[in-house]
Amino acid sequence: MSYEEETEDIPFTAEMEAEFRQIARGRAPARLAQLAEALGDTDAFTHLPSAAAAAFHLEQFGDAKQFAERALALAPAFKENWNYGNAIHCGHTVLGLLAINSQDDAAAINELYKLGKTPGSPQLNTFGPTMQLAKALLKIGHIEPVLTYLNQCRAFWEMGGTWLDLWERKIREGHIPNFFQHSRV
């Protein structure tokens, strides 16, 4: 059994998910402070994606939306920046999660497709994308959009083929992958 299969066989319990949320909440104030201290658009662009996620985890949904939208609005001016792909990916992830919270499945699916169009980044290309929105959509029965997203991820996450194949197989078998190592945003 491969490492990836072993990892997926370990149940990702509600308690573990709660612990992940608590860790994210604990880190959130520092991420918001980094954005507050940013000088100019370049510095802000570096911190907006993580600030959007931080605000989401703190249930500051208005700020989360504002930060995600600002990251996406600034992104075209930073296409050569190392953080460009992260901003696209995280911005659309946060907007999609906010859509799920508002029970707007169509908007969440649209955001999933948009985040899958990221060109990648050093982090995404190496460690892979977050699957938080994909998992939320699977939990409410949206299988095909998630399978499409997994296929989109192949364009930038070349090293993730084993993970993507495993998750696709599990989804096609009617299971929701635990996405343990890819549950962050």
Residue ranges per structural domain of the chain: 3-182
pLDDT-above-70 percentage for the chain: 98
Which band of pLDDT confidence, cut at 50, 70 and 90, is reported for residue 180? confident
Q: Environment class of residue 101 by beta-carbon count within 10 Å: exposed (0-12), middle (13-18) or buried (19+)? A: middle
What is the C-alpha to C-alpha distance for residues 152 and 112, in angstroms, rounded to an integer?
10
Q: What is the DSSP string of 100-161?
A: HHTT-HHHHHHHHHHHTT----HHHHHH----HHHHHHHHTT-HHHHHHHHHHHTTT-GGGH
Report the predicted TM-score, pTM, of the whole model to 2 decimal places: 0.94
Q: Which amino acid, residue 3?
A: Y
Higher pLDDT, 94 or 18: 94
CATH number for the domain running over 3-182? 1.25.40
Residue 185 has pLDDT above 70, yes or no: no
Question: pLDDT tens digit string along 68-77?
Answer: 999 999 999 9
